[in-house]
Structure 1
């Protein structure tokens, strides 16, 4: 079970974008995820008349390692860790470590 999923609000802990908040738009693999507005790079693109794209410099969001982000707890307004709790009916749910309340996805 992934502790950080697509659609979660996260905050960056380290690196160039430290302190920025964003929403996870996709998971690239087990360890990397793409966060909207975080880890933006300038990419030089060649024109391709077959696809109808013009050349130039475009902004692109690159993946970031999941250890460099933490889930954002809106109740406390801070970053929080994620724990897994087993319910009575056998389902696993994600909870905030600081408060123990369930994370609404």
Structure 2
């Protein structure tokens, strides 16, 4: 599989779906599945019965994974950009297509 263009800690914007336009930080990358988990985006709610471990019960909210093609890296000015790879000083680095600046990480 090709190298991941979006990694943990990257700021991304959602391009499609119910959360279109929302931005957040990638908290988990799942490259084998081609998915990412973004903080505060694609929140799933589960109704939980009271148990001994959780005597209160109630609603449990958590971020669900979303496909990596639905998100794009965010530049410093807040606009989405694609990512490409370049070799600089003998190292493979990620570069924002719109601005040409290297992405740390």
TM-score (norm 2): 0.88
1:85 equivalent to 2:67? Answer: no
Where structure 1 has 5 or more consecutive residues not aligned to the other structure, the ranges are none
Distance 1:46 1:34 in 2: 26
The equivalent of 2:103 in structure 1 is: 103
TM-score (norm 1): 0.88
How far is the alpha carbon of 1:95 from its aligned partner? Answer: 0.2
1:46 equivalent to 2:49? Answer: yes
Q: Deviations over 1:8-43 (max 9, x none)?
A: 000000000000000000023431110000001211
SS in structure 2 opposite 1:43? strand
RMSD: 1.4
Distance 1:6 1:85 in 2: 20
SS in structure 2 opposite 1:25? strand
Contact 2:43-2:63 within 8 A present in 1 as well: yes
How far is the alpha carbon of 1:46 from its aligned partner? Answer: 2.5
Where structure 2 has 5 or more consecutive residues not aligned to the other structure, the ranges are none
Q: How many residue pairs end up in the alignment?
A: 102
